[in-house]
Structure 1
Amino acid sequence: MVIKWILLITLVFLIFWFFKQFRQIQRKPPDTTRKVIEDMVRCAYCDVHLPKSESIVEHGRYFCCTKHRQLYSQSQPDDK
């Protein structure tokens, strides 16, 4: 009777140990890549903030789309 209990406890321990090992293998390594923090700029026409890399630059001003760039240039008086 005691041998049955010892075998049962050993079997449960082995199942638990194998399950734990299997989960460690399946676990993904932590993400070590650093996220790049990008400067945000404001559209000169509509004041929407967007990443600098996605903006359109003209004469030192940032725009969220080409339409706003065109509308802004049309609304400004010519300094010529």
Structure 2
Amino acid sequence: MGLFRLLFWIALIGAAFWLWRRFAQKKTAPKPRQTTLPMVRCAQCGVHVPQDQALQSQDRWYCSRAHLEQDSTPGGH
């Protein structure tokens, strides 16, 4: 009976240790945050670019300086 008790306690301690490690690892490894940037459409060519990389003139957005200048010329758009 003594051997059975010893094996029971070893199994119980092993299971408790396994569960503790499993839950402890989930708490220490945070999920990576997914960040998204707002996209805007170029008024000249229609391509979508992140807003922080786009150029704005009045209420219109542009993907490059060339498109900004083309659209602001009289024969532009």
Please give the range of the TM-score, normalised by the shorter of the 2 chains. 0.5 to 0.7
Shift of 1:39: 4.5
TM-score by length of 2: 0.65
Counterpart mapping for 1:23-42 below 5 A: 23-28=22-27, 39-42=38-41
Structure 2, unaligned runs of 5 or more: none
Cα RMSD over matched residues?
2.9
Aligned position for 1:77: 75
Q: How many residues align?
A: 74
Shift of 1:36: 7.2
TM-score by length of 1: 0.63
Counterpart mapping for 1:1-80 below 5 A: 2-28=1-27, 39-74=38-73, 76-77=74-75
Using the alignment, how far apart are the partners of 1:66 and 1:28 within structure 2? 47
Q: Deviations over 1:44-78 (max 9, x none)?
A: 1110123333321013210112232123334x438
